[in-house]
């Protein structure tokens, strides 16, 4: 875990950003790949005239979107927040936008200072796909939302969620407090809202895929008890595709109100 000690001579900013993750290899910088972090740091370096270092509250995967990502950014340059916002947006690609900037305390770290995250997953549950809903998982067969909602009760709460964690995770603790999963349907557009103190690697997508399998009658709702207790990813359902997932909001924690 990185140190929270303040670095002398640096100015610190807190940014709220949104992005369409369709053409990006996720948040985190990777050699030879276009990522949200690389585009943001490139634009910020031009504005500030100095290299910058950034940290995001949620390290979204390839193809995942965000409406309320929080980023802390440090640089040896001082810039008024409003001017910084306008300057960044003039340089960023059209599918990334900064919606808020404010000065942050020395030592602020978006990844560790947040108290929780809210994700939403969108499903288009109609026979025909829609060209206007490219960021929805199209499922042609009708989903039984009653079954899906009844399954939720078995996984909400504080548990070891390794049954819903994908391989490749670097997180040591598998315990998460999944506060709620809300499922709604508006004209065939199904939304699953997840709120938790933290999430494991691909946890939201793996739970979503499992709940879809419940809604299709492939998995019984109470089977989630055994899946959770078994701690084996192979016993859970499929992984939902990335394009339907949005990081909706970061809960303030040490940041205070981020609305």
256-259: Cβ within 8 A, 24+ apart: 258/16, 258/68, 258/70, 258/100
Report whether 155 contacts 162 (CB < 8 A): no
Report whether 108 contacts 11 (CB < 8 A): no
Report whether 120 contacts 136 (CB < 8 A): no
Report whether 102 contacts 12 (CB < 8 A): no
Q: What one-character DSSP code corresponds to residue 172?
A: S
Sequence-ordered list of residues with C-beta below 8 angstroms from that of 158, at least 6 positions apart, any chain: 175, 176, 177, 178
Residue 160 among the catalytic residues: no
State whether residue 227 is helix, strand or coil.
Answer: helix
Report whether 70 contacts 259 (CB < 8 A): no
Per-residue burial over 83-111, b = 16 or more CB atoms within 10 Å of its CB, e = otherwise: ebbebbeeebeeebebeebeebeeebbbe
Which one from 61, 95, 144, 222 is the annotated catalytic residue? 61
Active site residues: 61
């Amino acid at each position: 875990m990185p140190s929270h000690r303040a670095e002398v001579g640096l100015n610190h900013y807190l940014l709220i950003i949104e992005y369409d993750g369709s053409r990006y290899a996720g948040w985190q910088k990777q050699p030879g790949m276009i990522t949200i972090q690389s585009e943001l740091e490139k634009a910020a370096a031009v504005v500030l005239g100095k290299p910058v270092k950034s940290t995001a509250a949620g390290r979204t995967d390839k193809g995942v979107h965000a409406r309320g990502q929080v980023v802390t950014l440090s640089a040896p340059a001082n810039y008024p927040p409003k001017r910084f916002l306008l300057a960044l947006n003039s340089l960023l690609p059209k599918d990334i936008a900064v919606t808020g900037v404010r000065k942050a305390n020395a030592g602020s770290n978006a990844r560790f200072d947040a108290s929780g995250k809210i994700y939403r997953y969108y499903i288009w549950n109609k026979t025909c796909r829609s060209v206007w809903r490219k960021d929805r998982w199209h499922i042609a067969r009708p989903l039984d939302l009653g079954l899906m909602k009844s399954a939720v009760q078995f996984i909400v709460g504080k548990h070891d969620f390794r049954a819903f964690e994908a391989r490749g995770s670097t997180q040591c603790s598998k315990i998460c407090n999944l506060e709620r999963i809300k499922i709604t349907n508006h004209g065939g557009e199904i939304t699953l809202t997840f709120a938790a103190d933290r999430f494991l690697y691909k946890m939201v997508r793996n739970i979503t895929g499992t709940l879809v399998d419940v809604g299709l009658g492939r998995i019984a709702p109470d089977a989630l008890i055994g899946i959770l207790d078994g701690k084996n990813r192979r016993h859970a359902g499929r992984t939902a595709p990335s394009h339907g997932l949005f990081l909706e909001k970061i809960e303030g924690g040490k940041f205070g109100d981020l609305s």
